[in-house]
Amino acid sequence: MAAQSPVYADETGSLQIRMGQKVMYCAARMNVDNNTLSIAMKDGVAVATKWSIHVGRVRNYWLNEGIADITVIRHAKPDLLTRSWLLTDSSSGISRRVYQIEDAIHFLSGLNNFPVLDKSLLLPDMQYRISISVEIHAEGINDAWWANLWHSTAASMQQDFSLP
């Protein structure tokens, strides 16, 4: 049995939750100016998007209780000689090469049917909130500790949900 939540959407992106039999999935898409990414990617600049997914239980008068924190990084490394882009998903380790920049941008700017967490972690009649923030890193992600101190968020989405 699968149930889909209403689509959350604003000017930065859209988010939708789908409950599978045992897993909760989400579909998120970031509204990003294609020129911003395409110009850089056509010039050979490697681009990565870092998706930070946080699921928490909503509590009144207190901070929300964290349930899950997931980070997904998607890379698009251009090959100027062959005019192709090598796409890599850090969560699955799968990479593929595409020859259309639109495919690369689509890969970077969305998560489709992404498994978030096991439904057994969720309790019925409880209100939960999923928050997703996306950072765009040109020239790849700097792994130094200080690089994470300050970075602007390209998009952020959140949606409340509960078990059906």
Judged by CB under 8 A, the residue of 95, 97, 100, 142 near another protein is: 97
Q: Is residue 34 a contact partner of residue 110, using CB atoms and an 8 Å limit?
A: no
Does 31 sit near another protein (CB under 8 A)?
Answer: no
Does 78 sit near another protein (CB under 8 A)?
Answer: yes
Least distance (Å) between residue 59 CB and another protein: 31
d(CA 58, CA 110): 26
Q: Is residue 48 a contact partner of residue 75, using CB atoms and an 8 Å limit?
A: yes
d(CA 51, CA 156): 9
Does 144 sit near another protein (CB under 8 A)?
Answer: no
Q: Is residue 12 a contact partner of residue 29, using CB atoms and an 8 Å limit?
A: no
Q: Is 91 helix (H, G, I), strand (E, B) or coil?
A: coil
Judged by CB under 8 A, the residue of 34, 71, 82, 95 near another protein is: 82
d(CA 51, CA 130): 12
Judged by CB under 8 A, the residue of 6, 44, 66, 164 near another protein is: 44
Does 142 sit near another protein (CB under 8 A)?
Answer: no
Judged by CB under 8 A, the residue of 1, 63, 81, 94 near another protein is: 81
Q: Is residue 144 a contact partner of residue 103, using CB atoms and an 8 Å limit?
A: no
Least distance (Å) between residue 150 CB and another protein: 4
Judged by CB under 8 A, the residue of 139, 153, 163, 164 near another protein is: 139
Least distance (Å) between residue 37 CB and another protein: 12
Q: Which two tokens stand for residue 2?
A: 């699968």
**Residue numbers of the site for another protein (CB under 8 A)?**
40, 43-45, 78-83, 96-97, 138-139, 146, 149-150, 152
